[in-house]
Amino acid sequence: MRICIIGCGAIGSLFGAHLGRLDNVEVWAYDPYQAHVDAINANGLRLTGKSDFVAKLNARSDAAEIPPCEFGIIAAKTLHTRSAMEATAHLFTDGAVCSVQNGVGNEEIIAEYVPRVITGTTFPAGHITAPGVCNQDTGGSTWIGPFAPKPASMDEVTRLAEACQRADLDVIALEDARGAQWTKLIFNSASNAMGALTRLPHGVACDQSGVRAVMSELAKEGVAVADALGIELDGDPDEMIDHGREVAYNHKPSMLQDVEAERPTEIDALNAGIAEIGRKVGVPCPLNEAVAGMIKGLEHSWTLES
């Protein structure tokens, strides 16, 4: 089996390194960050933290040097989904690409480029500490399933999940993975947005007067949109917010990390994504729209001369 990781940041590195330890799987990684690519090719990809090992991978910043693959696992930031697929589509003329990215809207873009698509939702988190080195911060499960308009076969989905399981990644194949996707989406829309707007870590934000209630209101809108789509959530996003406060009190959600670094955020795939789908299905999402407007405003502020 030949797999290409598309976007070898923290999540891509976690998948790539684990799969890279398998004998019967050949792992390639595409990433534009040349120093990272060079370090992986020279010394292997090292995981630290919750995992501690080095795996051999073939990394490339030029996708033309990568052979055709059976599977792609795309872990690029949602902002880069299109450019990443433009660069790598030729690897999957007869392959399936699985998104393990945040939010909604990625699969639709991927489907424009490849014949078969897999929806995925992943919970492990980490961060790159040096070129070729990724610290795994948390573990957790991943749920994958066929993406409806251009689905991979259930047989393909299962084979990918089994390969991941052999590599010690808890990946579960489902006929309908949208419940998992929307549960995490709604959780993220509350925790990421409020963390980014208050500039506070998740648990600290939860403990500010009135802020936790706003998170619940945001989540309620998302749940109403999921209901209208006929998606059965596999968990209660509101409980996840409380659980996150327990286990990751000082964790800075990725959107807060983006804001602190003045990088474009994934707002289009999160609150703006929910609000846009809400409009299409006739479910008003005033708070998600408000939050999307403010995050966009914040991004705009970095472009102004001070």
Partner 1 sequence: MQNISKVCVVGAGAIGSLFIGHLGTLVETTVLTRRETHARDLIKKGLRVSGKSQITAKIHASTDPAQLGDADLIILATKATAVAASAATLRGHFPNAKLLLVQNGLGCEETVHQHGDWPLISGVTFMSGVKHSDTHVEYELDTPTWIGPWAEHGAPFDFVKEVAALINRSGLKAEAYEDLLPHQWSKLIFNSAVNSIGAITNLPHIKSFAEQDQLSDLGHLVFAMMAEGKHIAEARGVVIAGDPWKMNVQAVSHGQSGGDEYGHVTSMLDDVRNRRPTEVDWITGSIVREAQKAGVSAPYHETLYRLVKAHETSWQREPNQ
Q: Residues interacting with partner 1, by CB under 8 A?
A: 194, 197-200, 204-205, 208-211, 213-214, 217, 250, 267, 272, 275-276, 279, 286-287, 289-290, 292-294, 296-298, 300-302, 304-305
Residues in the chain: 306
Residues 6+ apart with CB under 8 A from 98: 71, 72, 73, 74, 117, 118, 119, 120, 144, 152, 160
> Please, which residues bridge with residue 128 across strands?
134
Residue burial 48-65, b: 16+ Cβ < 10 Å; e: rest: eeebeebbebbbbbebee
**Which CB, 74 or 256, lies closer to partner 1?**
256
**Which CB, 186 or 197, lies closer to partner 1?**
197
Taking the complex as a whole, how short is the minimal distance between the CB of residue 296 and partner 1, in angstroms? 5
Taking the complex as a whole, how short is the minimal distance between the CB of residue 101 and partner 1, in angstroms? 20
**Which CB, 87 or 267, lies closer to partner 1?**
267
| The two structure tokens encoding residue 166 | 């052999």
**Which CB, 79 or 204, lies closer to partner 1?**
204
H or E stretch at 219: helix 211-228
Q: How far apart are CA 165 and CA 152, in angstroms?
A: 19
Taking the complex as a whole, how short is the minimal distance between the CB of residue 302 and partner 1, in angstroms? 8
Taking the complex as a whole, how short is the minimal distance between the CB of residue 263 and partner 1, in angstroms? 14
Q: How far apart are CA 192 and CA 184, in angstroms?
A: 11
Taking the complex as a whole, how short is the minimal distance between the CB of residue 193 and partner 1, in angstroms? 10
**Which CB, 22 or 204, lies closer to partner 1?**
204
Alpha-carbon Rg for the chain in angstroms: 19
**Which CB, 64 or 304, lies closer to partner 1?**
304
Taking the complex as a whole, how short is the minimal distance between the CB of residue 202 and partner 1, in angstroms? 12
